[in-house]
A and B are shown apart, each in its own frame.
Chain A
Amino acid sequence: MPLSPQTRAARVRVGKGDKPVTYEKAHAPHYIAHRKGWLSLHTGNLDGEPGAAERAVEDAFLRRFLYGTFPGVLADEPVLKRRANLLVVCAVLARGLAPAKLYFLVGYAETLLARFYKCPVRLELQTLPAKVPYKYL
């Protein structure tokens, strides 16, 4: 069914054309499963599975935590994958910090999150020269 023209959820409004926007941000939520994947993968939303709300709260905390721990170098939204007890955080970073500093932050984040959520946490990083713009809006 067609969407109302007043919807504002998760959309970047068209501007002058100088604002670079990543692929993730450029697409509105109705493109999920068509042009976008999911940013958080867990079994909580399957039929009869518990814990969907807890996972949602954990996701919100994790995204804020990562946004603060890697200030300015996070090039795109991190993807959270849960496999049994393990929480895998896949983040794409820009090369703004020296590798030694990035490893410090990785060790810090992994240990702190593991103690906080009582489950093993693994951080898998990929670095890019800069944020990749998909469009300019």
Chain B
Amino acid sequence: MAPKRIRARAVSDDPEDLARVPLQAVLLADSFTTRFRPITLERPKVLLPLVNLPMIEYTLAWLESAGVEEVFVFCCAHAKQVMSYLENSQWKSLPKFSVTTIESHNSISAGDALRLIYERNVIHGDFVLISGDTLSNMSLTRALQEHKERKKKDSNAIMTMVVQRSKPSPITQQSRLGTDGLFMAIDPTTKQLLYYEENTNHSKGTLSIDKMLLVDNTSITLHNDIQDCYIDICSLEVLSLFTDNFDYQHLRRHFVKGLLIDDIMGYKIFTHEIHSSYAARVDNYRGYDTISKDIIQRWTYPLVPDVLSLGNSATKLERQGMYRSSEIGQSRSAQIGPHTVIGTGTTIGSNTKITNSVVGKGCTIGSNAVIEGSYVWDNVIIEDECELRHAIVCDGVVMKSRSVLKPGVVLSFKVVIGQNFVVPPYSKVSLLKQPTKQDSDEELEYADNNSDTLDSAATGTMDKLNGDPLLEFSEMEHHVSSELGYGGVGYIWSLCEGSHEEEWRHSVAPIPAEKLAEITQVIEDDLELVSQDSNAPASSGELKPDTQINAEDDAVYFEKEVEATFLRAVNENVEVDHVILEVNSLRLSYNMQAADCAGAIFHSMMKLALDAPHSMQNELLRNVHNTVNAWQKLLKSYLPGKDEEIEVILKFEEICLESVKELSPLFTQILHLLYDKDIITEEAIEDWESEKKDADEADRVFVKQAEIFLQWLREAPEEDDEEDGE
């Protein structure tokens, strides 16, 4: 009823003033990622509680207060849940604010969503594009006005991106929201966005920008201190662009970068910087933690618990940032520390300590429990003497007495943790089994988000649990009591390949001290290099033509390049001379020494030998033999002197120690082989030995292993001498 009225009015206004179209917004109630798994298998991300309120509440509240009149909520994964939630929410009954849901089952990305919305033909003018996990308290009027004025002057200015300045240090960016570093080039006068790069590789210290940018623009400011708020004001063209380019999936990675690169159409993106307002997006668990704390600290005012609290569960703010709802049963001896939120109907036992945490509605917490920096959702039962540190505990979880959650743990819905069980750090526990197919490629991860099988499996399990709890529980207990302690129910998800390294980055737990030190070290190194190289400002400033080369990184890249060249040579039977030529050119372009080349080539050769099929050590040795035979000319050409040869031995040691453990037993044999082939001379080996004399025990492993060979080597020349003498 409401939308109709608004539209009717808009139509009647149309002839006199086109600008009086009601402001529309597209809210993507699906993040199209799997960062919040396993929780998102059972409930959509936008309905996950953020300080005891579903995230979408914050987004809608902001849209409403910013003057948006019509919101189209795009639901994909768990569309039914989102729709039924909205149906029963306060937003449906508000005048001048209509919420319409658009359901889709086959959209796997933001691109698909926008294409579908375009097909529906519901957007009539400029609209706000936001995802359901973004919260802000900024005022849209200025940004909108700027956008409209630009659009009037230049019809190609189709998008305004809201950005926020943060402290110019990548460590803050990473440790605050857990997002990757972001580099932007912005025209300081027109605020046009010229370059956008999410720095996905943390070790990479360089950034390459098309020099045409410098030609086309009189001045550019480069920023690494800007945060993308993921709030965009778009013109209608954005939707049609998505339809035209059907391969656009990701909003930033494809759309924004696509527009920036594409100079045929000449579409432009501008930025709007907010200063005192707050805007951030819950991208991962770390962002969840940080934004929760920002809310508790009231940066998002008026979107704070005591103002937003729904229905009759009035929340009151007490001293030291404590929010307490009504009807809390709290033992006199319980200590509830600062920055804590306690939901309605929760009871807390004696001597329990809660600090920096959020506890939802209807939880039961026993006595002598410790809850620190954790997020406990609704109806959770925590028995006596449990310990929770920096964990997320979803609805209906039961923690039996004296169980412990280590930092970074995520317990999905209705998991039961057995008595005395200690859940290891960063583990994720769910009632659902981990899906067997794990797509390492993030693009493909979208695909199984909408698979209905998982959905139905989830609801199926839920139904079963609800229907016949006793039977199910006993069955489950039987299966997994070993996995989660006695009486535990659920599966611990194994950490997927490669992401182990990333777990600490994206969890709610604070970054471990050693990792933090690592990041700081890397950054300091970078800074030192920068200051050595030039006086370029560290954070952001006018672009200087110099390149800041990180020597160590270059070495790694060089090695990879050489390896690729070498492998190609092997596969395509390129002549040795040509390979030498290619490696030489690489050497020049990376400014490397002959020794580096030798090391790199040797490394590639060993890799090749290792990659060839082998089952026994003998076979491996034969492989190495063959490879060395075939490519000794190449290697030799980079071994003009003793130093290079020593370098090769050192490299060899390194390989054996670090990357290829299989080779280490063969160290002596291969060394001998190299000696036989005259690749490495006697002097080099002796020098290597003497060099290692002062090294500590761990470094001398291979010297020891080669002891016999060295002995023989030492004796041999004597014999030679004797022979010569005779």
The answer to whether A binds B is no
Residues of A within 8 A of B (CB): none
